[in-house]
Amino acid sequence: MNPRTHFPSEILKHAILLGGAMVVILPFYLMLSFSLKSPAEITSITGGFFGSQELITDPRCIKEGKPKAECTMRPIVYNYTAAFKEAPLLRYLLNGVIVTVSIFIIQVLVALPCAYALAKLRFWGRDVVFGLVIFCLLIPVHAIALPLYIMLAKVGLTNTYAALVIPWTISVFGIFLMRQFFKTVPDDLIDAARMDGMSEFSIVWKVMLPTAIPALLAFAIFSVVAHWNDYYWPRVVITGDRDLMTPPLGLRMFKSDLDGNEYGPMMAATTVIVAPLVVAFLLAQRRFIEGITLTGMK
Amino acid sequence: MIHSRAPIAFVAPAVILMFIILIAPVFIAGTLSFTDYNLGNPGFNWVGWKNYDALVSRTGYKKMFSASLAYVLIVVPISVALGLGSALLISSLRFGGEVYKTVFFLPVMATLLAMAIVWEFTLDPIVGVLNHVLRSGCDIGWLHSFLTGSWLGMDATSSWYGHGCSETFPLWIGDKDYALGTIAFIGIWQAFGFNMVLYLAGLTSVPRELYSAAAMDGADSGWERFKLVTWPMLGPTHVFVVTITSIRSFQVFDTVEALTRGGPSKSTYVMVYAMFEKGIRQNLIGVGSAITVVFLAFVLILTMTQVYFVNRRVHYS
């Protein structure tokens, strides 16, 4: 094949993909750009990507009776300080970390022993339990949301961290994934551990857990991405109490009580919330793509 | 056989949680869908099929089904086609493929609710970038005549673009004729990168020899090779991609709740949003549960279809 005959088609492919890439990037570009610019530049759509960064005065700050010098700042500073001041953004981020980390840890604590038992131990009822896991894989989260909400409301747990975490403590997908992985671990390894006098309990945590690190990492990415980004469930169980809101829910509240058109601070908050996962993704793309797609059958 | 309590102790927490968190709620929803239960009332009455009757007879719920169905029918074919198309293009590139792959996968990672808010600003009829760009095109003579078709002798004001220039461009999410399409666009924007990655994985498993075999049989053009080898060999991937995209589109919620709240005039009143609004906001748990049951039935039908196709399929590996 002559490379020269392929030259035009190669250019054409790049042109198509580049066009698509621009549409895909557009909202990310605008988000970042708006978070840097002054309100006037945003509404008039001028100033390019960075804006002119001319000093602006915050009218609300003047109203509070502070000196003008203190209320005058660069748009970028104004947007990001307003985002952290008006929305308790740090609190939302902290909640996001608390919720996603607790969910992941509990999921592993519950799933790992079960997966080990299903893969490596023979006991009465094993096939029934595995059948149950497969059956539960079919149940979509939105189908259990309403009854779970009622159950939590009945025991008075709405508007608590528990409500955000409890429904996700069981990951049948995690059990399934880890079981498949443990199936590939040689029996000799476990037998050797038993010979050394290890209990089944310490086999799970001291032998199986270390071998399962790659699979667990993929599952961790899947779990953390899903729950950091989840908006539906927090929206259902957290009503009003801002101190418990996760990043997406907090952002939604910020949007609904904006006075006027405060696009700049809003976009600054959006950038701060989207950034952690996007940065992590750019640093470890292969792992992220693996984690989200291999486990994407949920 | 291990004669200890270890297996039971290992399995018990998971089994108990499965029953309480996953299985019991399905039965509770099924039961409550035949009642007029609501939070705050101590008791409830059995109402028979009344809640389901409402779902099939009231116009509001008919709009719910049509909005959900329309959303799925727009998002699934387009995001699957774009996923396959971009995977084919990327895998045939000499260089730069990784970059496009990263870019197209970004929306899959990014918090959908946050990005929905950015799209809302982009699509804002007054300060949004999209309508700004559309408006500025009106003043450029050649572009205007090209887009309105007046260079072909067509009537400029009767075209979509010409009408937009002389009157106004659409309000997008604020217009009942455009809202669902706009929400679907965001759904496609978010989902197709995921499909692309699945197709890229599928493409790597197509044996190279098959292409030379097809070439020997006279399949010279790229299109013929695609038709003879690539498309059929991707069979299992197609089934998986289509099912998972359908199930996910049925679950659309974030964009609807944040941008349209089911409106205007219920044009975006999709099932999961209706479930949330009726069951949780308005405390009409009977109706909410009935929607839940119907929703579950749809998802199970989709999954069963997938299982059927997967089992029927000839495996080439």
Q: Could you report the predicted ipTM of this complex, rounded to two decimals? A: 0.86
Residues of A within 8 A of B115 (CB-CB) are: 27, 31, 274
Banded model confidence at residue B313, pLDDT cuts 50, 70, 90: low
Nearest alpha carbon to residue B153 among B145, B162, B163, B164: B145
Residues A176 and A100 in one domain: yes
Q: Which of A43, A66, A84 is the last residue of a domain?
A: A84
Q: Which of residues 63-102 of A touch B (CB under 8 A)?
A: none
Average pLDDT, chain A: 85
Give a yes or no: residue A287 inside a domain: no
Domain that holds residue A124: 89-257
What A72-80 contacts at long range (C-beta under 8 Å, 24+ apart), as own/partner pairs, is A75/A36, A75/A37, A75/A38, A75/A39, A75/A41, A75/A51, A75/A264, A76/A35, A76/A36, A78/A38, A78/A264, A78/A265, A79/A35, A79/A36, A79/A37, A79/A264, A79/A265, A79/A267, A79/A268, A80/A35, A80/A265, A80/A268, A80/A272
Asked if pLDDT for residue A220 goes beyond 80, the answer is: yes
Residues A98 and A78 in one domain: no
CA nearest to B23 within chain A: A136
Banded model confidence at residue B107, pLDDT cuts 50, 70, 90: very high
Rounded to two decimals, the pTM is 0.88
What's the number of domains chain A is made of? 2
Residues A253 and A122 in one domain: yes
Give a yes or no: residue A286 inside a domain: no
Q: What's the CATH number where A212 sits? A: 1.10.3720.10
Q: Which range has the worst mean pLDDT, A175-179, A253-257, B126-130, B311-315? A: B311-315
For the stretch A67-80, pLDDT in tens is 777 777 788 888 88
**Separation CA B112–CA B97 (nearest Å):** 25
For the stretch B33-44, pLDDT in tens is 888 888 877 777
Residues A179 and A108 in one domain: yes
Question: Is B198 an interface residue toward A (CB < 8 Å)?
Answer: yes
Q: B315: alpha, beta or left, given left = phi > 0 and alpha = psi -120 to 50?
A: beta
Beta bridge pairs of residue A56: A73
Superfamily of domain B57-125+170-312: MetI-like (1.10.3720.10)
Q: How many CB pairs under 8 A join A and B?
A: 254
Give a yes or no: residue A25 inside a domain: yes
Residues A47 and A71 in one domain: yes
Residues A72 and A100 in one domain: no
Asked if pLDDT for residue B29 goes beyond 80, the answer is: yes
For the stretch A83-109, pLDDT in tens is 888 778 889 999 999 999 999 999 999
Banded model confidence at residue A2, pLDDT cuts 50, 70, 90: very low
Beta bridge pairs of residue A72: A57
Residues A205 and A127 in one domain: yes
Give a yes or no: residue A264 inside a domain: no
Of A20, A146, A235, the CB nearest to B279: A146
Residues of B within 8 A of A166 (CB-CB) are: 21
What residues contact residue A92 under an 8 Å CB cut-off, 6+ apart?
A245, A246, A247, A249, A250, A251, A273
Nearest alpha carbon to residue A271 among B122, B258, B117, B193: B117
Asked if pLDDT for residue A298 goes beyond 80, the answer is: no
Q: Which of A27, A52, A84 is the last residue of a domain?
A: A84
**The tokens of A191 are what?**
């037998």
Question: Is A176 an interface residue toward B (CB < 8 Å)?
Answer: no
Of A45, A247, A281, the CB nearest to B109: A281
Give the residue-averaged pLDDT of B201-224.
82
Question: Is B109 an interface residue toward A (CB < 8 Å)?
Answer: yes
